[in-house]
Structure 1
Amino acid sequence: MTSDPAPSAESSPKGSRLIGRLLPPAIRLWLHTQLDHLEGLEFALDGSDRQILGGYLPGVSLAAHQAVYQGLHVSQAEVEATDIRVNLPQVLRGKPLRLLQPFPVEGQVTVLAADLRASLGSPLLGQGLRDVLRQLLAGAVSEQQVPLVDWLGEGDRAADVAIALGRDRLTLRWPGATPSDDALELSLGLAMREGRWLTLEQPVARVVPAIGAPPPPIALEDTAFDLGPEVDIRRLAVTPEGIDLGGRVRVIPAD
């Protein structure tokens, strides 16, 4: 994402020193409360003193790296948000920063292969992958052909999944309980449809025996997941280095 830098609140003309002192720390504090970990945060505010002091932020540019949200790791994020309304009059009296209305955020996010591997232990991603595999295999194979409980049972072993990235495809591998047990592999492509439908393209499952020849691979049907009307992802690229996402989301304030 490229753009002309927005004027920083801390470098605004005389008369906005109060904003420069109070608003950036409040934003930083709010971001840190939303994330598990955050490094390299940079941001700039756009708008007149009157607008900002009234709680209206016409534009905010933000960049960060090494962010972690609910165990999900992101190496780089660059976003621009517009038309934000916050409770700034209350913030100036020492209250926490709150969002008052939905607003759009546009930008790009880079998730490196190392980020994905670090995220595999998170309950959010780990359970999500198990749910995806169950849905893909449902109706395609019997429990006798692919006993999913051998790989997707509960506990620490269920989260011990490996991931490898290729050009436009990724491969997930669930090991057996011991080195002498079979492993399960799932290879698939990722694509976005109409901005909100995450599509798993040409998925193929394989049982990988520890000894002997593997059985034939199991071709599965394409499956799409609706990310919701607030999401408009215009770019999704999978490479051996990582996954790049670009687009827009609409942020909905928490109740």
Structure 2
Amino acid sequence: MPEENSQKSPKKIKLITNLLTKALKLWLRAQVSQVSQLEVEIRASDRQILSGCIPWVSIFASHAVYQGLHLTRIQLVAENIQINIGLVLKGQPLRLLETVAVFGDLIVEEKDLNNSLSSELLSTALNDVLVKLLPEHSPKSKPISWQKITLDNNQIIMRAMLTPPSEATHLDIYLGLKLLSGQELQLSQIQVKQNEVPLLEGNHSYNFYLGSDVDIEELNSIPGQLLCRGRINVNP
């Protein structure tokens, strides 16, 4: 009998791991509307998996679209994940039981960033930046259409069009990026031009608090790409 159990054990481990990997892939695919490549690697023993704990997971995705945001490449690593393994083994969706700290590297190419301009998440963030810089240009009073984003060395150039009843107005906004801490981002060397006429220039800077669930280690803009590395908490 012991020999029979020892022979079946490896098959059991493989079956559980494969089932969990497929469940995790299904859950991830449900979070995005599109993904070109998705790879998942799980490192765990059978005892850990059956107890609902996954010590280490790696996820790689390319050309994924999450709530309208186009992500060129993303690599994530998470540890000590607690899941509802009992229900997963019965065919139900995977669900987190506790907050998970996820460490990741993200690359967004300029073309994907521009494809994201129609997303509510990005447009809302850009509107918040504009109102911070120019309170009189609130979207509530002047409809805003974001036209283009250009990435340069530690600088982002954004073009927007305001459409009041009289005539359309073009805004070109130049921003420098600087991390003050893992939770605080500074926009510096700000310039704003309205129909090519300087509207705001000088050494203006504004700080934005990113929240306690975020810890950014690196955030750089280079020609054609935006690079980000850090941690984010994923809550159940």
Provide the TM-score with structure 1 as the length reference.
0.81
Q: Secondary structure at the match of 1:66?
A: strand
CA pair 107-127 structure 1, distance change in 2 beyond 3 A: closer
Q: Which residue identity is paired with 2:176? A: G
1:208 aligned residue (191, 195, 201) = 195
The structural deviation recorded for 1:217 is 4.4
Alpha-carbon shift at residue 39 of structure 1 (Å): 2.2
SS of 1:131's partner is helix
Shift of 1:102: 0.9
User: Percentage identity across aligned positions?
Assistant: 37
User: For 2:223 and 2:30, how far apart are their aligned partners in 1?
Assistant: 32
Contact 2:127 2:139 in 1 (8 A): no
> How many Å apart are 1:21 and its aligned residue?
3.6
Structure 1 segment 1-255 matched on structure 2, within 5 A: 13-138=10-135, 143=136, 148=137, 153-154=142-143, 158-175=144-161, 177=163, 181-209=168-196, 214-215=197-198, 217-219=200-202, 221-253=204-236
CA deviations over 1:130-156 (Å, ceiling 9, x no partner)? 121011123xxxx5xxxx3699734xx
Distance apart, 1:18 and its partner CA: 2.2
Q: Cα distance 1:95–1:187, how it changes in 2: closer, same or farther (>3 A)?
A: same
Stretch of structure 1 that moved more, 18-27 or 90-99: 18-27
What amino acid does structure 2 have at the position aligned with 1:130? N
Instruction: For residue 88 of structure 1, report the CA deviation from its aligned partner.
Output: 0.8
- Runs (4+) of structure 1 exceeding 2 A deviation are 12-15, 148-154, 158-161, 175-178, 214-221
Cα displacement (A) at 1:13: 4.0
SS of equivalent to 2:16 = helix
Give the structure 2 partner of residue 5 of structure 1.
none
Q: Specify whether residues 106 and 216 from structure 1 end up closer, same or farther in structure 2 by C-alpha distance, changes over 3 A only.
A: closer
- Amino acid corresponding to residue 229 of structure 2 in structure 1: G
Residue type matched to 2:209 in 1? D
Q: 1:215 to 1:199 in 2, by over 3 A?
A: closer
Change over 3 Å in CA distance of 1:150–1:251 after alignment to 2: closer
- How much has 1:122 moved relative to structure 2? 0.8
Question: Which shows bigger deviation, 70-79 or 159-168?
Answer: 159-168
Return 5+ residue gaps in structure 2 as ranges. Answer: 1-8
TM-score normalized by structure 2? 0.87
8 Å CA contact retained: 1:150, 1:177: no
SS of alignment partner, residue 208 of structure 2: strand
Q: How many residues align?
A: 226
- The structure-2 alpha-carbon separation of the partners of 1:237 and 1:90, relative to structure 1 and needing over 3 Å to count, comes to same
Indicate how the Cα distance of structure 1 residues 72 and 27 shifts in structure 2: closer, same or farther if over 3 A, else same: same
Give ranges in structure 1 of 5+ residues lacking alignment: 1-11
Q: Is contact 1:151-1:174 (8 Å) kept? A: no
How far apart are the structure 2 equivalents of 1:17 and 1:166? 47
Structure 1 residue 181: deviation in Å?
Answer: 4.3
| Cα distance change of structure 1 residues 49 and 162 upon mapping to structure 2, 3 Å threshold | same
